[in-house]
Chain A
Amino acid sequence: MSENDAVEEIIICQDVCKWFGDFQALKNCSLRVQAQEVVVIIGPSGSGKSTFIRCINRLEEHQAGDIIVDGIPLTRDVRNIEQIRSEAGMVFQQFNLFPHLTVMENITLAPIQVRKMKKEEAQETAMGLLNRVGIPEQADKYPGQLSGGQQQRVAIARSLAMSPKIMLFDEPTSALDPEMIKEVLDVMQELAETGMTMLVVTHEMGFAREVADRIVFMDAGEIMEVGTPEHFFTNAQHERTKLFLSQIL
């Protein structure tokens, strides 16, 4: 592979394997994601979707195979791990906002502590991001005072404050009340339109169909099928993919 291809492909996973004790959670998963691409990962629960994207910023350690993010190989080298984490933002199912800090402090914490940014500058950026996710008026509240949808939008703003090149979403709407799902998906769609590289684990098929460039179907720790939304929803090849889609649609 030439050097240019490596830059074009911002995430490269080759034969990634992961075990939890005797249980193999990931079996030779290979996936290449291009810059600015939106990839949605779907599959039944327990199929390894979350584990897969958690391996990409080392919240889980993969035991075999290669992961290369923006040209940086993910190894035991802590400097590489640090660099990759600073390039990949992550949004969690349970938001994981810091409850003892205000919304503003949640967003400015990492830029100030890790990037050594000045407070005014960080706050300015944070206000910009809060405007972008549509809740600038909540800046001085604590996470416990916000609705689930608002919390998740703050969590997205918090990740964006580190200006990542890649955003990883781990079931970002699964813990939300139905009426709040849309506000979060809208923010994600807007983000996709700005050209952010996104890897999204979700059960929102509408989002997958509309926003994804490619859809990955995982089952029992394996990547079964990869294709465009059109391909998936009209012409899925694998029996298990068809079965899953028939159950969920």
Chain B
Amino acid sequence: MQEIHASQVRPPFYRDERVLGIFSQLLVVLIVVGMGLFFYSNMITGLREKHNVAISFSFLGQAAGFDIGESLIEYSRERTYLRAFVVGLLNTFQVAFLGIIFATALGIVIGVMRLSTNFLVSRIAAFYIDIFRNIPLLVLLIFWAQAVFFKLPRVAEAIILPGPIFLSNRGVAIPWGIPTDSWNSYLIVLGIGVILGAAVAWFLREQGKRTGRMPLITLWFLVTVAAVGLVGWVILPQPMTLDQPFLEGFNTQGGKILSQQFMALLSGLIIYTAAFIAEVVRAGIQSVSKGQREAATSLGLNPAQTLRLIIFPQALRVIIPPLTSQYLNLTKNSSLAIAIGYPDLFAVAGNTILNQTGREIEMFTLIMGTYLSLSLLTSLLMNIYNRRIRLVER
């Protein structure tokens, strides 16, 4: 009987699978680190010898000296570059946040319409998708700016929509709430409302676990908060007054003014991204096999129950990853704002600040880092959600 030692025979090191694996990993690390060091030292020497500057972010503390068209926080040209940077960041954040919400809503509607058995409805959705998916975003944005919002009539001839909403060459004026002295007390009342709502939601959840019929928890949460809010509104002396815009002389007074640039950018981003989201939603719903719908139907579930309990939960798994990509695209695409004069992060930091200070390395590090952080944050949130709804197999 021959003894077997096959596993103990060691091959020469240059044929050893494990040694080769470790060696190739090391090689890659060395190349990457080496190239990184080379470029970095090259940049530093270049900066020092040719321009006699070292990398430093201290210029951010200097006065900016330029105006910004619109800002969510208080800003003037005496404030620092850092403040200007934050103004741009908040403007980007604002347009991306609203854009994501509206594009998702519009995209879901169009995506579901696309699958309608009604020929007309489905063709309208298909037409929308075909048009807006195939026009470059930059063209769309400039169209919305130059052909629509910048062409609005003078204030005296403003287009008035119910609300009232005034559309004019000064922007879009919408009614807006103005907090009064009792506003802070009202915020406390709202806080109590949220706590009560959470309690109601918890109670319903527990009850749902017992009966197996999950009520619409989010709805009841919102109803509770709204009810408490309403009671607080009646008890407190007017926590907020409604400020409606009105025409006065050559301008609109009151309300909140949304600039033409902001409206053009937001409209363009929503309409463009919604076309992609619609296709994502359609693909998700279609990915659920026909048999699922048939099984639900033969069990007696109605179409609404089938969509809510069977189709959507399964479609979500397919929808979430590409939807995340669309959210990232929308956020990054908002940097095209520079083409229509909306002061977003890139327009403020990558154009104005950069031109004034000549700090390319520092500014691009900041800008890229900021966009990267925004995107990673979005991905993180979506990934957490995706993990929660994953399918269990084997």
Contact = CB atoms under 8 A, between A and B. Distances in A.
B213 A119 contact: yes
Nearest to B305: A113
A96 B300 contact: no
B314 A110 contact: no
Interface stretch (B215-223, B269-277, B289-297, B362-370): B289-297
Contacts of A108: 212
Interface stretch (B138-146, B233-241, B386-394): B386-394
Contacts of A118: 211-212
A85 B313 contact: no
Contact of A92 (B211, B294, B394): B294
B90 interface: no
B210 interface: yes
Q: Which of B294, B297, B389 has the most CB of A within 10 A?
A: B294
Nearest to B314: A100
A145 to B, nearest CB: 6
B309 interface: yes
A221 B30 CA distance: 71
Contact of A96 (B211, B212, B295): B295
A86 interface: yes
A89 B313 CA distance: 24
A85 B314 contact: no
B301 interface: yes
A197 interface: no
Q: Which of B212, B310, B391 has the most CB of A within 10 A?
A: B212
A180 B211 CA distance: 35
Contacts of A122: 212
Interface string A93-122: 010111110000000111011101011101
Contacts of B28: none
Contacts of B389: 100
A116 B309 CA distance: 15
Contacts of A155: 295
A86 B302 CA distance: 11
B300 A114 contact: yes
Q: Which of A85, A96, A155 has the most CB of B within 10 A?
A: A96
Given A96-B292, A112-B211, 11 more contacts: A59-B297, A92-B294, A97-B295, A99-B391, A100-B389, A100-B391, A109-B301, A114-B299, A118-B211, A122-B212, A159-B298
Contacts of B305: 113-114
A37 B393 CA distance: 38
A145 B392 contact: yes
A233 interface: no
A142 interface: yes
Contacts of A123: 212
B300 A86 contact: yes
11 contacts: A57-B298, A59-B298, A82-B300, A88-B298, A98-B310, A100-B314, A112-B213, A113-B213, A113-B301, A122-B212, A159-B299
Contacts of B300: 82, 85-86, 110, 114, 162
Interface of A: 57, 59, 82, 85-86, 88-90, 92, 94, 96-100, 108-110, 112-114, 116, 118-120, 122-123, 142, 144-145, 155, 158-159, 162
B394 A98 contact: no
B253 to A, nearest CB: 54
Contacts of B210: 119-120
Given A59-B297, A112-B213, A114-B300, A145 B394 contact: yes
Nearest to A82: B300
Contacts of B292: 96, 98
A110 B299 contact: yes
A166 to B, nearest CB: 11
Q: Which of B289, B295, B298 has the most CB of A within 10 A?
A: B298
Given A112-B213, A118-B211, A122-B212, A90 B298 contact: yes
Contacts of A98: 292, 295-296, 310, 314
Nearest to A99: B391
Contact of B393 (A88, A97, A144): A144
Interface string B264-293: 000000000000000000000000010110
A49 to B, nearest CB: 16
A113 B305 CA distance: 8
B392 A59 contact: no
A145 B393 contact: yes
B213 A59 contact: no
A94 B294 CA distance: 11
A96 B309 contact: no
Nearest to A97: B295
A183 to B, nearest CB: 20
Contact of A99 (B297, B299, B314): B314
Contact of A85 (B211, B298, B309, B310): B298
B393 A142 contact: yes
Nearest to A142: B392
- Give 7 nearest A-B pairs by CB, closest first: A119-B212, A144-B393, A96-B295, A96-B291, A110-B299, A90-B298, A142-B392
A109 B391 contact: no
A59 B299 contact: no
